[in-house]
Amino acid sequence: MNNLSFDDILSTRIKFGKVQMQTFLIISLIDLLDGSEFMFLQLLNAIIYKEWSLNLGQLIVLATVFNLGQFIGAWICGQFSDYTGRKTMLIWSCLLQVLKNSMLLTAFVQDLPQLLILRFFFGLLFGIALPISSILMAEVTPLHVRGQFIVTLQMMYVVGRMWMLLLAFIYLDSIATGNWRAIAVTNSIPCFICLIGSIIYLHESPRFLITQGRIKEGVEGINFMGRLNDKDYVDLSDDEVQALLEWKKETFEQQYEEKSFKDLFNEENLPITWRAYSLSIISMLIYSGLYIIIPFLFDEEEKTLLDLLYTVLIELPAVLVVVCLIDKIGRLPIILIGTATSMISVFIIWYWRAKYLLLGLVAFKFFNRMTFLSFTPLVLESYSTIYRSLGIGTTIAFGRAAGFLSPAIILPLYQKDNYSPFLVSIFIMFVMIIIFATYPKDLTRKPLDIKYEKVD
């Protein structure tokens, strides 16, 4: 009994069932909103640029302000959710979103300053909630299906993009014209549903509670989840509770309150942190940049909303491929394959230009989605529980910072040569492959919290 860990309790006592499904259904709306909002911003940039006759500088600011808000929000999440709790942070973020009702208010803005303020605040609140969804899902899911559920959760990002394109087919006349205000109103609905579900059905992570030293609450949480999953569940025995105390003591040598940002650069975390930050920054530089120019490029090349839909639909089979493979061959092999093939796809677009634009983008979106789906579980599993929220939150924050800077770099390049951003992306992806190839941890089908062994 002395070797019992939280993952043993999760796999053999709590098991998989109603708790995990409830958690998934609620927090999946966060990822759905992220996808729909990102697609909305893509379309809105092109529409507002024409409708309000914006200059290049104004377009850059419009394209960057949401990511600036997300950068600050993700940083706040990383700093405070390890103290306030996963559920509490998520509820407050959803509540503030509803009170602010940013997406709904967007429908009534009259000028660029008003729109910029609302986009910033929505990005801020969304940046707080987004990292929590994957963290909470990972901490309450048994290890043998953990990767599959984190990836499936991220599939909702793709569903969100499809939802937004459905609204675009209803309300827009073309990629760059139509009733974008009606889209903003309709897209507010999932936020209300997420808030209500979070308050009523979401449960705090027992792993988080135990690692923070709130043993009684953690044990009560385990027993509650166990009873919810299995009507014949028997509460933890005194021996099992004592074994959990020993696990906490042996696994987390530092006191929870002593953790700070600088600890992400200690001997245990440094090999992970510098790679995670670097990869997040340069990948979001590509992701944000290319996705911003796609509506403009499609409009110039006389592509339609249906063509844009093809580039989104292809991400669904990518999700299915990753779900099938991620807990079998691991996170890193999928990432390396996805990044290498993404680089080839972008080369095809740059070299043959309009001739293979749609085909190249479809291939790029497929393989790039494979990479992104596997990257999140790779990083969040690399940190132990006492660093996980801070680690993944700041990783996302630095990525969003790159997204904030990306339009200022990519849009001027695009104005000089429509396809030059793709050439830059080829070199960036080559650097990503090198960094991924040296990544020191892949905890596929392994416990989240294990004693660190130094990697040479």
Orientation angle between helical segments 143-171 and 112-139, nearest 10 degrees: 150
Q: Is 178 helix (H, G, I), strand (E, B) or coil?
A: strand
In a domain, 456, yes or no: no
In a domain, 445, yes or no: no
Whether residue 304 contacts residue 165, with contact meaning beta carbons closer than 8 Å, is answered with: no
In a domain, 450, yes or no: no
Distance CA 208, CA 430 (A): 37
Distance CA 125, CA 110 (A): 22
The confidence score (pLDDT) of residue 319 equals 87
The confidence score (pLDDT) of residue 99 equals 57
Distance CA 449, CA 140 (A): 13
Residue linked to tokens 């339009």: 407
In a domain, 449, yes or no: no
The confidence score (pLDDT) of residue 169 equals 92
In a domain, 80, yes or no: yes
Q: CB within 8 A of 30, min separation 6: which ones?
A: 90, 129, 130, 132, 133, 194
Domain count, the chain: 1
Whether residue 391 contacts residue 271, with contact meaning beta carbons closer than 8 Å, is answered with: no
From the first residue on, what is the mean pLDDT of each consecutive set of 10 residues in the chain (456 residues)?
77 87 85 83 88 90 84 74 71 66 70 88 76 79 80 83 91 89 84 82 85 86 91 90 84 57 86 92 85 88 89 90 88 94 96 92 93 87 81 83 84 91 93 93 71 44
How would you class 298 by CB atoms within 10 Å of its CB: exposed for 0-12, middle for 13-18, buried for 19 or more? buried
The confidence score (pLDDT) of residue 279 equals 92
In a domain, 455, yes or no: no
Q: Is 173 helix (H, G, I), strand (E, B) or coil?
A: strand
In a domain, 447, yes or no: no
In a domain, 444, yes or no: no
Q: Which domain holds residue 107?
A: 6-437
- Which CATH number do you get for residue 20? 1.20.1250.20
The confidence score (pLDDT) of residue 113 equals 92
Identify the CA nearest to 317 among candidates 375, 258, 362: 362
How would you class 334 by CB atoms within 10 Å of its CB: exposed for 0-12, middle for 13-18, buried for 19 or more? buried
Residues in the chain: 456
Distance CA 284, CA 126 (A): 17
The confidence score (pLDDT) of residue 430 equals 95
Distance CA 52, CA 50 (A): 6
